[in-house]
Amino acid sequence: MRIDLHTHSTASDGTGAPAQVVADAAAAGLDVVALTDHDTTAGWAEAELAARVHGVALVRGTEVSARSSGISIHLLSYLQDPTHPALVAELDRTRDARLNRARQIVELLAADVPITWDDVLEQSRDAVVVGRPHIADALVARGVVGDRDDAFVHLLASDGAYHVPHYAPDGPTAVRAIRAAGGVPVFAHPGADARGRIVPERVFDRLAAAGLGGIEVDHRDHSPAQRTRLRGIADRLGLLVTGSSDYHGDGKANRLGENLTAPEVLAAIEEQGTTGVIRP
């Protein structure tokens, strides 16, 4: 069974609609795919319909923005109740903060390069969450940079001149909110050190104490050494180990199914979650 538990659609920063992500998953030979857009569940209904059409099982989820030790982190929430007030409140606040941050970044960039807020809105289209990837796409469309990766290296880096921080809940707070909503929290790409600073090992202990369920170990941004380190942490804390593509359509080089999750791990996630896997 081929299981990929981390993808994005146009509801956040992917380039394909939720139905297209599911169709792509079927074409890639996946049996199970999770839709995990940033800080929103807006793509769930469309993805569920497509999953039934294409014969792919769907894990409904969200990639929740958080912060720990002054470092931005992401938590994949699987099978939560999308109406639970604790998690909804955090997601609403984070989305608003992301939007305000994006506007501020564009204002800073506009002093030096040709870009407007309308350029960004043209790229974000129907996205519920507007963020830096859409700014990157606008910079590409304007010919300022060659692609998204180029934009993040040269203009949108977290330690760059145009960086603007945004609100995100503390890691343990986010984990508890996910658990309160009946979701299963998994730490997304925590060893992706090429993206910037990564959290120290003590943060995993704090998240585990709050209810963390697993660690996304097999990810293209993790070196072999990082994968070994993260498996050791997961073993020590009794956490599940997942693998995923972090697919964004044409927005990134990541390909569906390039890293996979074991069936027994999905079974454990489903046992803990509230909403269940949608099966065709």
Report residue 15 as tokens: 């380039």
Span 79-87, mean pLDDT?
A: 96
For 99-154, the fitting CATH number among 1.10.260.40, 1.10.150.650, 3.40.50.970, 3.40.50.720 is 1.10.150.650
- Name the more confident of 144 and 159: 144
CATH of the domain spanning 3-92+166-272: 3.20.20.140
Q: Residue 116 above 80 pLDDT?
A: yes
* Neighbour count for residue 116 (Cβ, 10 Å): 14
Rounded CA gap, 133 and 275, in Å?
A: 30
Q: Residue 251 above 80 pLDDT?
A: no
The per-residue pLDDT for 32 is: 98
pLDDT per residue as tens digits for the range 161-218: 999 988 899 999 999 999 999 999 999 999 998 787 899 999 999 999 999 999 999 9
* Residues 74, 216, 246, 273, CA torsion sign: negative
The per-residue pLDDT for 69 is: 84
Which phi and psi (to 5°) does residue 39 adopt? 55, 30
The per-residue pLDDT for 149 is: 87
Report residue 238 as tokens: 């009794």
Strand order in the sheet with 184-188: 3-4, 32-38, 57-68, 71-78, 184-188, 214-218, 240-243
Q: Does the pTM of the predicted model rise above 0.85?
A: yes
Q: Residue 125 above 90 pLDDT?
A: no
Domain boundaries, the chain: 3-92+166-272, 99-154
Report residue 88 as tokens: 């909804």
The 3-state secondary structure of 33-85, one letter per residue? EEEEEECCCCCHHHHHHHHHHHCCEEEEEEEEEEEECCEEEEEEEECCCCCCH
Q: Give the distance from CA 100 to its chain's centroid.
A: 19
The per-residue pLDDT for 258 is: 98
